[in-house]
Chains A and B, each alone.
Chain A
């Protein structure tokens, strides 16, 4: 299973690999810049940790690429159950950080199960759908929702990790659509969705924590509360805008190091990047993400089977959702939902999870020819 033969290397998806390595490097440089203390040495902790995590992640990617992804379909359920158990565990005994229980401490490092769960969720859905070739009718969809989606959604919402919960719902919708729905169901869903939106949003609203509500209010009008969440959005916009065409230059940004930006090395890393690299640098970054995502879709198109197709699509969707929600938030065109920018934001678990996801993409592409074995 772990033997690496020559064809594997010849067919290896170097483009995807190069893109994610480039993004990770840019991420580390930006973390370095964002966490430097003015007048002091940079906080080695953050970017060095991220370097270590990058090395671990590259190893993980190589391992993931080396076996046939078909194996994932067989073990999906086991992963899924483990994932659910971890989510339950984190709710019961997780470490609280920033008003949410998201972390599990293992010895001297802690990780966020939800970061892995989103990938497990994609694998699970891909595995499930690929085993039933027919389009989904109403009952099938509701069944999938009840069995696979509802429980993790509730668990994530409870943590609360609103970002991942929303991502899970969006992934469910996207992958289900990609798998195929009955036309009737599609129309019904659209109708029901539009009618029930006010009720659902009301229920969601009352279930939200205060800071989450504030984020939504601030998204609608950032001027309402300039020192609260709206303040953060404004500061993020100021950071990005002040980069102008060519940026202030590496280590010349002021918004991040001087703490005007919240979460500067995690959720708002793009703002730090855009301040220092300007419109040109942002354009380059956008190009890399576009390559990554379109390459993922292309992999899906070329996949040798339905499982590979759904897997690649799901992962490409996942990257897209993370990218759009995160960048949209820093640009002030999406509500503030605390999800990181893939490959760039500081965070070991997310980096590892993203590298494994990319590894699966590469795996699917590498083994796209049925005649592989």
Chain B
């Protein structure tokens, strides 16, 4: 019986211990499910929910004839999900992508934000790389190919300074609150129209809230906000003009700006040498970037708005216009050019050593006689010339919405007194009157000037969109007779025998223009035999057709030599391309680009 008693006691003790154990479990359940319940619920939600941004297709950029200039292109990236990745594969993977093992290891293990979020290991894969990797995916669990949208720039280099390019957010932009909505891996416009109209083109990224399993595989779509495609934009440029002009530069450094006189729309804008925007859109390599930045020819400089050079003889248009308008000269005024002009101990030469003889304003512009304009400048006074030049848009920003535009300089006696603390000398009137000396302009300013000459003195702000309402900056009050005289002379420059701009003569239309040569060094020699860096810069400004101007332009060729031989042919090509019917333009464009 004693034994019986003991046994019952032992069982009772066991029962007591077991009930105690149940109580402990009950307490633990209370702690997890009641006390920490909501916290744990949240943890289980974040476990399974992922918010994935869906990039919006970017708006397409068209030229003024609705020809697409860009295509959206997939941009492939290889990523690794650290949680799924087998560390034993790391050296094979590093070899596959040509990345140092230590670097890869660091990125997958040390720097990974979460074991479930893919870590980028290589961007901008080519199609062949993608297919190579796809074929080997099964060897590398956790390796995935992600796709983003980037751009294909159909015409490559052509007009790259204006069209611009896409790039990843730079460190400064990632901190900028205005880019808060942009996913960190996304491409945004970083240059040109792509940057300028980025918010329009960008669209609104969509969102997918998905349920995932422990290895991040998508299980179910819970909510989807589809992306809204960015709006297309129609640029004012004519890609045929761009392409023909670009080709005509033949790799020489320089700039080209074409405007529509009626509205100020930019029909073409080139800075040569240009760069390939596709390199940026494919994730430019450090070496390529370095090469672009260190290139002596400065491909990243937008010469069309940033180069400031003496306008040379193209400035004679302003001198002539000012003198006629101020009645300092008229069509009957004649000067005798003996190949130069002596003033005190100095001699101011004409480019034509043997002289032009007795010459009036028409032939003086046609043959670009320097002596005539020394005299004319002296008569009207350079301050008056400067006044007109400024009214026509020289010496100040044109206001085109491409960044970092330079002002150039139109000097005056006041300006000289303020900055140089000396008075203006007559010799300075002479050289500035023919566009040398202090006076300097940008290619786009000269295009604006020509546009205003073609359009009865109306100065427009150059605009980049086809449908943008024109912004009239001012109308310069010039008597129609004055304009008529100048325009006729400019027509003569191209079309009359002995005109300096004969190279721009076209059978398609009547071209008006003016050549210019900006001296690089004081000595005037036949620049053909000079080392290139001592050669003069060549200018040509033009509009056409003379009867009803549809295009006004300026061409600048750095160290090109004479404006007539280096710059005028480019203008002719651009004008002819612009005046072609659309189907002919397409034909032109279909030739290998």
Contacts and interface: CB of A to CB of B under 8 A. Distances in A.
A244 B31 CA distance: 10
A240 interface: yes
A364 to B, nearest CB: 13
B235 to A, nearest CB: 46
B338 to A, nearest CB: 93
Given A286-B26, A301-B11, A324-B21, A278 B33 contact: yes
B8 interface: yes
Nearest to A262: B214
Given A38-B211, A244-B38, A274-B33, A260 B48 contact: yes
Contact of A260 (B26, B29, B214): B214
B127 interface: no
B40 A178 contact: no
Contacts of B524: none
A288 B26 CA distance: 13
B19 to A, nearest CB: 7
B47 A290 contact: no
A180 interface: yes
B15 A294 contact: yes
A39 interface: yes
Interface in A291-349: 293-294, 297, 300-301, 309, 313, 316-317, 320, 324, 327-328, 331, 333
B61 to A, nearest CB: 41
Interface in A244-272: 244-245, 254-255, 257-260
B324 to A, nearest CB: 83
Contacts of A279: 29-30, 33-34, 37
Given A254-B48, A309-B7, A328-B25, A259 B214 contact: yes
A177 interface: yes
B14 A290 contact: no
Given A39-B220, A178-B14, A331 B32 contact: yes
A16 interface: no
Given A241-B32, A255-B47, A297 B41 contact: no
B223 interface: no
Nearest to A258: B213
Given A38-B219, A279-B34, A241 B39 contact: yes
Contacts of A257: 213
Contacts of A235: 47, 214
Given A254-B48, A258-B213, A260-B214, A283 B32 contact: no
Interface in B31-74: 32-34, 36-41, 43-44, 47-48
Interface centre among A178, A241, A282, A290 (most CB of B within 10 A): A241
Contacts of A244: 33-34, 37-38, 40-41
Interface residues of A, number: 47
A245 B37 contact: yes
A320 B14 CA distance: 10
A239 interface: yes
Interface string A224-252: 00110000000101111111110000000
B29 A38 contact: no
B25 A327 contact: yes
B341 interface: no
A331 B43 contact: no
A333 B10 CA distance: 27
Interface residues of B, number: 39
B358 interface: no
Interface string B1-32: 00000111011001100110110111011101
B213 A243 contact: no
B11 A38 contact: no
B204 interface: no
Contacts of B6: 180
Contact of B37 (A39, A178, A242): A242
Nearest to B25: A327
B220 to A, nearest CB: 6
A293 B22 CA distance: 11
- Overall SS of chain B's interface: helix
B215 interface: yes
B451 interface: no
A282 B21 contact: no
B206 interface: no
B83 interface: yes
Contacts of A320: 18, 21
Contacts of B203: none
A297 B220 CA distance: 49
Contacts of B227: none
A242 B6 CA distance: 45
Given A274-B33, A279-B30, A242 B48 contact: no
Contacts of A289: 22
B7 A301 contact: yes
Contacts of A177: 10
A39 B38 contact: no
A293 B18 contact: yes
Given A38-B219, A227-B83, A297 B44 contact: no
Given A227-B115, A279-B30, A297-B11, A238 B25 contact: no
B147 interface: no
Nearest to A247: B33
Contacts of A39: 219-220
A344 to B, nearest CB: 15
Contact of B18 (A241, A297, A300, A327): A297
A297 B211 contact: no
A290 B19 contact: yes
A241 B33 contact: yes
A287 B202 CA distance: 61
B47 A260 contact: yes
A38 B217 CA distance: 11
Contacts of B41: 241-242, 244
Interface centre among B8, B19, B47 (most CB of A within 10 A): B47
Contacts of B39: 241
B29 A333 contact: no
A243 B33 contact: yes
B506 to A, nearest CB: 68
A257 B214 CA distance: 9
B40 A238 contact: yes
A255 B29 contact: no
A247 to B, nearest CB: 9
Given A38-B211, A38-B213, A260-B48, A331 B29 contact: yes
Contact of A294 (B18, B48, B214): B18
Contacts of A290: 18-19, 22
Contacts of B14: 178, 297, 313, 316-317
B212 interface: yes
Contacts of A333: 24, 28
Nearest to B221: A39
Given A244-B33, A244-B38, A245-B34, A260 B25 contact: no
B7 to A, nearest CB: 7
Contacts of B83: 227
A258 B33 contact: no
Contacts of B33: 240-241, 243-245, 274, 278-279, 282
Nearest to A320: B18
Contacts of A293: 18
B40 A237 contact: yes
A38 B220 contact: yes
A297 to B, nearest CB: 5
Interface string A179-215: 0100000000000000000000000000000000000
A251 to B, nearest CB: 14
A327 B18 CA distance: 13
Interface string B204-244: 00000001111100011000000000000000000000000
A309 B115 CA distance: 53
Contacts of A327: 25
B540 to A, nearest CB: 68
Given A178-B14, A259-B214, A282-B33, A331 B219 contact: no
Ranked 6 nearest A-B pairs via Cβ? A241-B40, A244-B37, A242-B44, A258-B213, A259-B214, A38-B219
